[in-house]
Structure 1
Amino acid sequence: MGAKQRPLLICFIGIDGSGKTTLAKVLANALFERGRKSKYIHNRFVPVLSKPFMVIGKLFFFRRKGKFENYLGYSATAKRVFKNSFIAVIYQYCLLLDYAFQTMMRLSLPLIFRRSVICDRYLYDTVTDISVDLNYSKARLKASLGAFSHLFPKPCLVFLVDIPEEIAYSRKTDIPALEFLKDRRTRYLDIAREYEMTILDGSQDASALKSIINTKLDEVIR
């Protein structure tokens, strides 16, 4: 019976403080209860191959405007710098190719050994972050996802955990500013509607969210 089970790739995305991590671990437990081997993976982008490019960019353009020290100043500088289409294209390709490599390294072994993977953050999160810096329109954001999605395994299920920015901001101490969340939330909702993701209200009771997750899980397992 176990040999017939296909490994699942399920992703949780959303703004920081939305509760993605908690719900991803709820799903991992639900899979365990169904007799399925699974692995929870924290899949946040961390500059590795693109680190030299990031260091150079900070040295030349963002020396006095760190994201955490002055988010509004950082954001304004990013939009000005990335008006240069050449710099914008190089930035996007460096980050997304780096992230594709990281994701492949994190996901390959579990999927090869037929373990289901629950990803906390995925391509959609990283493209959303990039789209804020590059001031992308909704159409440009969609085009970027389409251009790079073939580099990433396709999830069978994606949950967007949506929550008011003020609630998310109150939950964490490492978010640069409320505007940081506001810049991203609308983009996440646009992506979720475009790709017909399951939108979870992160302010709901945990038991209600668990019920929705289990229902969607039953649909993909059948």
Structure 2
Amino acid sequence: MADTATHLPTLISIVGVDGSGKSTLGGWLIEELERRGRRPVLVWSRFRNYLSKPLLALTRLTGHNYYRTIDGVRFGFHDFERLYGYRELFALLQAIDVNIAAYSRIQRRRQAADIVVCERGPWDTLVDVTADTGLAWLPGSRLGVAYGRLMRRDARVLLISRNYRNIVQTRPELVNDGKLELRMGLYEQLAREQGWDVIDNNGSLDRARRGILAALGLPEAGAAATDQGAE
């Protein structure tokens, strides 16, 4: 039976660090919404570089933007913290790029579906840029707010929270991400400042699912149980 009585936002953005369980829970949410008679679509929008591409190419030449393979896993590194002037320009151009991507990949999808579930989007980019540039003031600034400008209308942001120990237990390669804990802190900061719903994914997957349903105001019927958290 279709469950269309509950008002849902037209955009649900699932955010969090790598290894927190975004993909698992995002895929489940799509299936759950379909089961309830909705028409959702899953969108992945991140790492869309348009105006900032020349700056990234320049830092590749200077050695501040590079890849390294560690234990068979390829990691990308952006060490822009001491590139004064450049890092501010990069943050500005990324804000423009992320809004171009939000319009082309997310806003237009809203016309074809009644709910867009976004896994990785503008707020994830904001966290990445803040971590890469060392601009601690960015998230709370007007420029930081501009990253999500096109997605604020009728949107709900769900932060998938998982502690460091559980993340590296299921994704051991992430011990080599030196900025993982910094990103975790930035997500928590944004959740407090912007009133995001925080979904605890340190226990069972069923509990995380029930947390999402509660945040969206949906009844729990149909949430399947499991013994382990989403990876």
Q: Residues of 2 paired with 1:47 and 1:176: CA distance?
A: 27
TM-score by length of 1: 0.81
Structure 2 counterparts to residues 123-142 of structure 1, below 5 A: 123-137=122-136, 139-142=137-140
- Equivalent in the alignment of 1:45: 47
Q: Residues of 2 paired with 1:176 and 1:93: CA distance?
A: 30
Q: Residues of 2 paired with 1:200 and 1:67: CA distance?
A: 32
- Equivalent in the alignment of 1:31: 33
Aligned residues: 208
Deviation of 1:192 after TM superposition, in Å, equals: 0.5
Report which stretch shifted further, 187-196 or 6-15.
6-15
One-letter code aligned to 2:140? K
Structure 2 counterparts to residues 44-63 of structure 1, below 5 A: 44-62=46-64
One-letter code aligned to 2:66? G
SS across alignment from 2:138: helix
One-letter code aligned to 1:66? Y
One-letter code aligned to 1:57? T
SS across alignment from 1:78: coil
- Equivalent in the alignment of 1:200: 199
Deviation of 1:106 after TM superposition, in Å, equals: 1.0
One-letter code aligned to 2:186? R
Q: Residues of 2 paired with 1:164 and 1:172: CA distance?
A: 12
Q: Residues of 2 paired with 1:158 and 1:181: CA distance?
A: 20
Structure 2 vs 1, CA of residues 204 and 61 (structure 1 numbering), >3 Å: closer, same or farther?
A: same
- Equivalent in the alignment of 1:66: 66
Query: Given that residues 10 and 114 in structure 2 are in contact (C-alpha distance below 8 angstroms), is that contact kept between their aligned partners in structure 1?
Result: yes
Identical pairs, percent: 22
Structure 2 vs 1, CA of residues 26 and 155 (structure 1 numbering), >3 Å: closer, same or farther?
A: farther
Q: Residues of 2 paired with 1:214 and 1:9: CA distance?
A: 15
Counting helix residues as a fraction of each chain, which structure ranks higher?
A: 1
Q: Deviations over 1:91-149 (max 9, x none)?
A: 01222211211121111332113431000012221111111122122x43211322433
Deviation of 1:46 after TM superposition, in Å, equals: 3.3
Q: Residues of 2 paired with 1:152 and 1:91: CA distance?
A: 21
Structure 2 counterparts to residues 11-160 of structure 1, below 5 A: 11-62=13-64, 66=66, 68=68, 77-81=79-83, 84=84, 86-137=85-136, 139-143=137-141, 144-154=143-153, 156-160=155-159
Q: Residues of 2 paired with 1:173 and 1:49: CA distance?
A: 34
Q: Residues of 2 paired with 1:202 and 1:167: CA distance?
A: 9
Query: Given that residues 166 and 178 in structure 1 are in contact (C-alpha distance below 8 angstroms), is that contact kept between their aligned partners in structure 2?
Result: no
Q: Residues of 1 paired with 2:182 and 2:215: CA distance?
A: 29
Deviation of 1:49 after TM superposition, in Å, equals: 4.1
Q: Residues of 2 paired with 1:176 and 1:128: CA distance?
A: 19
- Equivalent in the alignment of 2:226: none
Q: Deviations over 1:150-194 (max 9, x none)?
A: 243435211111111232233336647242211211111010011
Q: Residues of 2 paired with 1:43 and 1:168: CA distance?
A: 22
Structure 2 vs 1, CA of residues 153 and 131 (structure 1 numbering), >3 Å: closer, same or farther?
A: same
One-letter code aligned to 2:25? L
Where does the alignment leave 5 or more consecutive residues of structure 2 unmatched? 71-76, 219-231
